[in-house]
Amino acid sequence: MTLPTTLSGAGLGLRREMLQQVLASDNQAIDFFEVAPENWLPYGGKLAKQFKALTERHSFACHGLSLSIGSPDPLDINFIKQLKLFLRQHNISLYSEHLSYCSAGGHLYDLMPIPFTEEAASYVAGRIRTVQDILEQPLILENVSYYAAPGQQMSELDFIREVLQMANCQLLLDVNNIYVNSVNHGYDAKAFLQAMPTERIAYYHVAGHYQQAPDLLIDTHGADIPDPVWQLLQQAYLQHGVKPTLYERDFNIPALSDLAGELDTIRALQQQALSANALKQFAL
C-alpha cells in the first residue's frame, strides 16, 4: 500500500509505550502519527512488524533526535544512510529535526542552542545541504526552545530565516516554542510568528509546557495546551495557512480518548481558519 506523501489534519506523536493502545484502536481521531526514528531503527522482530503494520495503515512523519545539525562534530553519515532506508521502507516523506545540536565529542543528551551568528548560520546551512543530498528529500528544521544564547550576534528570528534561506530547506514551526521563548526572552510572540516565511512552513507542532516562574517557562511536552498557545496556533493558521499540526505529548500521557479531545480542538481551529480565510478571499 502506498500512502499519500503529504499529511493533513491533526496528528499525534507516537511513543513506544503507547503502541499497544494504538494497535488496539481504530485511530479514527488521529489523522497521522509522528515518530522519532531513533526509537525504532534499532529494533527488529515483533516490534518492527507492529510498527510496519501501522505505517501501512496510517500516514507518518519522522521527527529526529540525534542528527545534531549544529554540532562541531562531523555528521554521522552512516546514521543518515540508515535513516534514508528507514524512510523508504515505511514510505515516510517528511523528516524533521531540531535547529540545535546534541553532541560535541560525545552525546550531550540535551538540545543545545546554536550561537546566533552569521558564521554558525553558514556552517549549519552547509550541513543541511549535505543531509538533503544524501536523503534525496528536504530536511525540515524546527525552531527550538532555548534558555541561553551564547555568543549571540543576531536575533533568533534573523538566524532562523538566514539558515532556511541559505540551506533552501523547510520549517517545522513549533508554536509552543515561540510562546515559551517569547516569555523567557521578552519578545512579541505574534510579531515573531508573523515574520516566519510562509512558503517554507511544512507543518506545525503544538504542545504544553511548565511554568516555573512568571518569566520562566520550561518546554516539557508534559501538560495540556494552555490558552495562549491555542491562540497563537490560531494566529498561525490565519497568517500562514492551515497546515498539518502535530500534538506532542511526551510525559504524563493520558488515555488516547483524552488526547483525541486535543486533536478535535486542533481540527476545530483549522476549520475556523479555513472559513475565515475563505471569507477574506471572497471579500477581495
Domains by residue range for the chain, with CATH: 10-283 (3.20.20.150)
Per DSSP, the three-state class of 224 is: coil
Radius of gyration for the chain, computed over Cα atoms and rounded to the nearest angstrom? 18
* H/E element, 279: helix 256-283
* 97/124 Cα distance (integer angstroms): 12
Per the structure block, which three cell numbers stand in for 198? 510562509
Q: Give pLDDT, residue 106.
A: 77
What kind and span of H or E run contains 142?
Answer: strand 140-142
Kindly tell me if the per-residue pLDDT of 163 is higher than 60.
Answer: yes
Distance CA 74, CA 56 (A): 34
Most trustworthy range by pLDDT among 28-42, 109-123, 162-176, 268-282: 162-176
For 195-239, what is each residue's pLDDT tens digit?
A: 999 999 999 999 999 999 999 999 999 999 999 999 999 999 999
* Percent of the chain at pLDDT exceeding 70: 98
* pLDDT of the residue at 2: 37
Position 47 pLDDT exceeds 90: no
Burial label, 176 (beta-carbon count in 10 A; 0-12, 13-18, 19+): buried
pTM equals 0.94
What's the DSSP call for residue 215?
Answer: T
Instruction: Tell me the per-residue pLDDT of 2-42, one tens digit each, with 9 for 90 and over.
Output: 333 479 999 999 988 888 888 888 878 999 999 999 999 98
Q: What are phi and psi of 94, to 5 degrees?
A: -110, 120
| Tens-digit pLDDT profile for residues 121-152 | 999 999 999 999 999 999 999 999 999 998 99
